[in-house]
A and B are shown apart, each in its own frame.
Chain A
Amino acid sequence: MALLEVRGLTKRFLGVTAVDRVDLTVEPGELVSLIGPNGSGKTTLFNCVTGYLGADGGRVLVRGRDLTNAPPHRVARLGVARTFQQVSVFPRLTALENLLVFLQQHQEESVLARLVRAPGVRRLEAAAIERARRLLDLVGLDAKAGLPAGSLSYGQRKLLAFAGALMPDPDLLLLDEPAAAVNPTMINQMKEHILGLHRQGKTVLLVEHNMDVVMDISQRVVVLDHGQKIAEGTPEAIRRDPRVIEAYFGR
């Protein structure tokens, strides 16, 4: 069964069809990229899949389960993690707390157990702290654990947001432009992180403008233009596809 299946998804904004009957399937363990010129509907598609926008038509299925128009927290709860194009952190929580908050809601304890800090909750918390420290280590932010996330640099916040998405060990990871507006060293770092996840068998769907990154790491590329899917295939095939070249460079 496909991990993510998008069927005929449509989203309109005041008569403009931002996403137009798009079909998209991601199999477990795949690394798929979604590309297209600015305004082609990539982020809108992401937002429809993760519950941030209501779809006007079509369906979104995760492991066969219908999640069309489910609210964001439900989508997340079912193992779909995402990052945002604009770096998004909780500025007044520390870097460590930023990661902890991404895991805790996946562990079902009652409000009362949390209020009185029941032993079971304390154990979960201790394990979560350990995992968070390992992830901070992975993205090179271990020294910043105790600082408010708002005080970190743009690139550091981007890495923190990435680590946050990894906290609950999601089945499907949707990354919205992880390489945008960061320096070349960090782009390489990000690339390595994503490839590392792929090697661990994680499923990743990527929106990215940086063609070097996309062509380097993707197994499959899906191209959107004016909200429609115009091509799909391996990076080599996409590079030579006349429709793609036309969409990017015009005729």
Chain B
Amino acid sequence: MRRVGWLALGVLVAAVPWLVAAAVPRQQRYVLHVLIFTALFAALALSYDLVVGHVGSLSLAHPAFFGVGAYTAAILATTARWPFVADVAAAVVAAALVAGLVGVPLFRLAEHAFAVGTLGLGLVASVVANNWVEVTRGPLCITGIPKPKLAGFAITTLPAYYWLALAALAGVALLYRGLTTFRLGRAFHAVRDNEPLAGAAAINPLKYRMLAFTIAAGLAGGIGALYVHYLSVMCPEEMTVALTVNLLVIVFLGGVGSLRGVLVGAVLFTALPEVLRLAPTWRLVIYGALLLLVVIRSPGGLESLLRRAPAR
């Protein structure tokens, strides 16, 4: 029964471009654009939750890894004319490599100091993106990033890009599930819940933290690459620390450490501000009030509401 349910959901989600075309023909481009953003944000938030939710380290450096991937792909695709698949792979590797290098010293910092240290990394990355003009073109942005080509198919239309983003999200979700359940998940959670005891259980806390951190960074880099291929432009403002705030809202108000929670959070908190455009003046006020409402009524995130529901 569960399988059938998932299959039906998959078919429904994949059929969205046609449904949108039928329901709101004049708004199709806009709605698909929001959905592509939602899928990419959901994937990014899932990668972020590997670190925040599963090994319990509050990293604020995720925009930096997203940015490293985005710039790697942007530069390779424009000046070096690398094919799409190769530059995405390079973006994953570059971001994971940076995480691997900075992770060991960063994880020597405990809890709050770790958050501040990663915030520092995020700020440095943003400053570099703005000022290393020879490479990043700084505020002039890298433009003319070609549309992706995958196995001979050029992905140029919005529905095609929607399916690509959806496939990326599915891939990230699958990896997320594999990493956070069974023996790996248990080791991650042991480190998160009680680090000294994890040592007594023969777990090397640093090894598991680094594993989550570098995989998360690699995924963020890959999503950064898909993002710039979609927008065809990469500017420094795409990777400011403000991006962390969006991710924190999605992860913590959706349901930290939960696949379902993060997905719900991504859909709600990426799509909601758009829906609220119906009331432009009060948009951000209503958004802020809704965030407060969630925090007060359900401190464990929306996921905890789903869990409390008796139906199962």
Contact = CB atoms under 8 A, between A and B. Distances in A.
Contact of B199 (A72, A90, A104): A72
Given A92-B193, A111-B211, A114-B183, A101 B203 contact: yes
Contacts of B200: 50, 72, 76, 81-82, 84, 88, 165
A91 B178 contact: no
Q: How large is the interface on B (under 10, 10 to 19, 20 to 34, 35 or more residues)?
A: 20 to 34
Given A101-B187, A111-B184, A125-B183, A88 B196 contact: yes
B190 interface: yes
A105 interface: yes
A168 to B, nearest CB: 7
A151 to B, nearest CB: 13
Interface in A93-148: 93, 97, 100-102, 104-106, 109, 111, 114-117, 121, 125
A226 B198 CA distance: 30
Interface of A: 50-52, 71-73, 76-77, 81-82, 84, 88-93, 97, 100-102, 104-106, 109, 111, 114-117, 121, 125, 164-165, 168
Interface in B175-206: 178-179, 182-184, 186-187, 189-190, 192-194, 196-205
B187 A104 contact: yes
B189 A93 contact: yes
Looking at B183, B193, B196, which has the most chain A CB atoms within 10 Å of its CB?
B183
Given A88-B194, A90-B198, A125-B183, 7 more contacts: A76-B201, A92-B192, A104-B186, A105-B187, A115-B178, A116-B178, A125-B182
A105 B182 contact: no
B201 A114 contact: no
A45 B186 CA distance: 30
Contact of B201 (A51, A125, A164): A164
- Which of B184, B197, B205 has most A Cβ within 10 Å? B197
29 contacts: A52-B199, A72-B196, A72-B199, A73-B198, A73-B199, A73-B204, A76-B202, A77-B202, A81-B200, A82-B200, A84-B196, A84-B200, A88-B196, A89-B194, A90-B190, A90-B198, A92-B189, A93-B189, A93-B190, A97-B186, A100-B186, A101-B190, A111-B184, A111-B211, A115-B184, A116-B178, A117-B182, A121-B183, A165-B200
Contacts of A102: 201-202
B183 A88 contact: no
A97 B203 CA distance: 14
Contact of A114 (B184, B192, B197, B202): B184
Contacts of A109: 183
A89 B200 CA distance: 11
Contacts of B198: 73, 90, 101
Contact of B182 (A72, A88, A114): A114
Contacts of B189: 90, 92-93
Contacts of A121: 183
A62 B197 CA distance: 20
B201 A71 contact: no
Contacts of A88: 194, 196-197, 200
A71 B183 CA distance: 22
A110 B201 CA distance: 17
Contacts of A71: 199, 204
Nearest to A91: B193
Contacts of A93: 186, 189-190, 193
B16 to A, nearest CB: 30
Identify the interface centre among A81, A101, A106: most chain B CB within 10 Å of its CB.
Answer: A101
A119 to B, nearest CB: 13
Contacts of B197: 84, 88-90
A97 B190 CA distance: 10
Contacts of B179: 115
Contacts of B203: 73, 101, 105
A88 B183 CA distance: 20
Of B182, B189, B202, most A-chain CB atoms within 10 Å = B202
A106 B193 CA distance: 20
